[in-house]
Amino acid sequence: MTLKDLFKVLWTIIEITVTVRDPDGIYIHRWEYGPDIDVSAHMAYEISRKKLTVVNIKVNEHGNPKGNGIEMGWGVNEKIFPKAILEAPIKHMSVRNRQKGDVLSVDIEMQPLTAMTLVEGTGDE
C-alpha cells in the first residue's frame, strides 16, 4: 500500500508525518505536513541537521475555496506531496483521531539517494 492508495479510502486526514527509511529500516528523513505546526527546539535542531522538513500547509481540501463557494467534501490534497513520497511503499502506519480529523503517521521505504533528492538544500552544499 502507498499513500496514494491510502488517500482514496481515508479522507479525513488533517496532519501527516512521513518518516522515510531505507530498505534496512535505517532512518533517513522525516516530513511533517499540516497547518500551524509548532516547531520545538528539538525539531529546529533536526531541521538544521537536514533530518526533518516541516511543511506548514493545509493538508485536506475541506473548507478550501472552490468555484462560487467552499469545498464541503473531504480529501487529501495530493499536489503538496512529491510523487516519490506518494508512491513509496508504506511499512508502518498509525492513525489518531482528533476533533477536526485524523492525524496519520507512516514509515515509508525509499532508497537514500531518492529521499535526499527531495530534501531542500542537500544538493547545493
Per-residue pLDDT of the chain (125 residues; tens, 9 = 90+): 999 999 999 999 999 999 999 999 999 999 999 998 999 999 999 999 999 999 999 999 888 788 787 878 888 999 999 999 999 999 999 999 988 899 999 999 999 999 999 987 554 43
| Number of Cβ within a 10 Å radius of residue 65 | 8
Nearest to 29 by CA among 50, 4, 2: 50
- Residue 72's pLDDT is 81
Q: What is the pTM of this model?
A: 0.89
Alpha-carbon dihedral angle through residues 8, 12, 16, 18, given to the nearest 10 degrees: -20
C-alpha cell at 103: 492525524
pLDDT at 38: 93
Find, among 61, 76, 68, the residue nearest to 13 by Cα.
Answer: 76
User: What pLDDT is attached to residue 123?
Assistant: 47
DSSP state of 122: S
Non-local CB neighbours of 59 within 8 Å, separated by 6+ positions:
13, 14, 15, 16, 33, 34, 35, 76, 77, 80
